[in-house]
């Protein structure tokens, strides 16, 4: 499905559209705003990006917290139905975000996904939030997790680990396409 959105056409030329999923259904599953801001700035130094923030109801403050910390202009995904959101996501080069519906939607739309999970390595296979069971599926999906259950939860995932996963999926400096 190719969706000709005037919104997507309005993104700045020469900048790669990159989607960031900031929210999740539970606060412990949300990577901190300052980490998203640092991630956006770091990716933008590797290659000029047009950051597209995917936020749901009640997540405006989180989006504004990220937007207030970055050096580049932020673009907010408009409120659309699932089909419209998926159509815009499929025009983005990559999705980086929390374990939430938009991560699954981005994977279904066929774009590379780096999902940030709150569930540490070593979580029992039977745990209901184990990302091995409930992550988005596809060859272009990477799940990054805190290194230890005894650590800082989702805050244990570093910007460097997320950038490394994006690079593994094909995000790279220069004009090459990813995917």
| Max avg pLDDT among 39-53, 109-123, 135-149 | 39-53
Comparison of pLDDT for 76 and 100, the residue scoring more: 100
Judge whether residue 171 has pLDDT over 60.
Answer: yes
Q: Rounded mean pLDDT of the chain?
A: 86
Comparison of pLDDT for 81 and 30, the residue scoring more: 30
Which whole number is the average pLDDT over 35-42? Answer: 97
Other CB atoms closer than 10 Å to residue 8's CB: what's the count? 18
Quick one: pLDDT at residue 69? 96
Residues of the chain above pLDDT 90, percent: 53
Write the DSSP assignment of 39-101 as a string of letters: HHHHHHHHS-EEEEEE--TT-HHHHHHHHTT-SS--EEPP---HHHHHHHHTTSS-EEEESSH
The radius of gyration computed from the CA coordinates of the chain, to the nearest angstrom, equals: 15
What does the longest C-alpha to C-alpha distance in the chain come to?
Answer: 47
Query: Tens digit of pLDDT for each residue in 89-139?
Result: 988 999 999 999 999 999 999 999 999 999 888 777 777 667 777 788 888
Residues of the chain above pLDDT 70, percent: 88
Query: Tens digit of pLDDT for each residue in 81-94?
Result: 788 788 889 889 99
Which whole number is the average pLDDT over 52-60? Answer: 86
Which whole number is the average pLDDT over 158-178? Answer: 84
Chain mean position to CA 141: 11
d(CA 144, CA 121): 9
d(CA 23, CA 92): 18
d(CA 116, CA 31): 7
Q: What is the DSSP letter of 128?
A: T
């Amino acid at each position: 499905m190719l969706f000709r959105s005037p919104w997507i056409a309005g993104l700045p030329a020469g900048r790669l559209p990159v989607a960031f999923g900031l929210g999740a259904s539970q606060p412990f599953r949300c990577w901190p705003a300052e980490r998203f801001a640092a991630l956006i700035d770091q990716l933008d130094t590797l290659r000029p990006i047009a950051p597209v923030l995917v936020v749901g109801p009640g997540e405006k403050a989180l989006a504004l917290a990220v937007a207030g910390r970055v050096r580049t202009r932020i673009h907010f995904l408009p409120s659309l139905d699932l089909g419209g959101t998926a159509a815009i996501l499929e025009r983005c080069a990559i999705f980086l975000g929390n374990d939430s519906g938009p991560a699954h939607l981005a994977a279904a739309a066929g774009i590379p996904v780096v999902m940030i999970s709150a569930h540490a390595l070593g979580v029992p296979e039977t745990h209901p939030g184990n990302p091995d069971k409930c992550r988005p599926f596809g060859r272009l999906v990477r799940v990054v997790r805190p290194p230890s259950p005894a650590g800082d939860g989702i805050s244990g995932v570093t910007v460097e680990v997320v950038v490394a996963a994006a690079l593994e999926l094909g995000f790279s400096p220069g004009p090459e396409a990813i995917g």
